[in-house]
Amino acid sequence: MLMRKNIKHVPKRYDTKMTLMDLITLFTEEAYKICKNKQMANLIALKSLQEFIKKNAKGIKIVL
């Protein structure tokens, strides 16, 4: 499960817990809004998620 660590500058309302599947679903749904081709939308979603994780890796904790 992916969880956002408690970070002092992040308000409590943004301190959410999401699974990796939640993130994939969220990014895929957003990609479908901009691209009707499912293959392209999946590629856009995965690339976007990859960039998101790279930028936010300090605030993400993987819990098994």
Non-local (6+) Cβ contacts of 33 within 8 A are none
**3-class secondary structure, 18:** strand
pLDDT mean by block of 10 residues, the chain; 64 residues:
46 65 90 92 91 78 60
At 41 the pLDDT is 93
Q: Break the chain into its structural domains and give their ranges.
A: 2-62
What φ, ψ does residue 26 adopt, rounded to 5°? -60, -50
Which amino acid, 7? Answer: I
The CA radius of gyration of the chain, in Å to the nearest whole number, is 13
Q: Which residues pair with 62 in a beta bridge?
A: 2
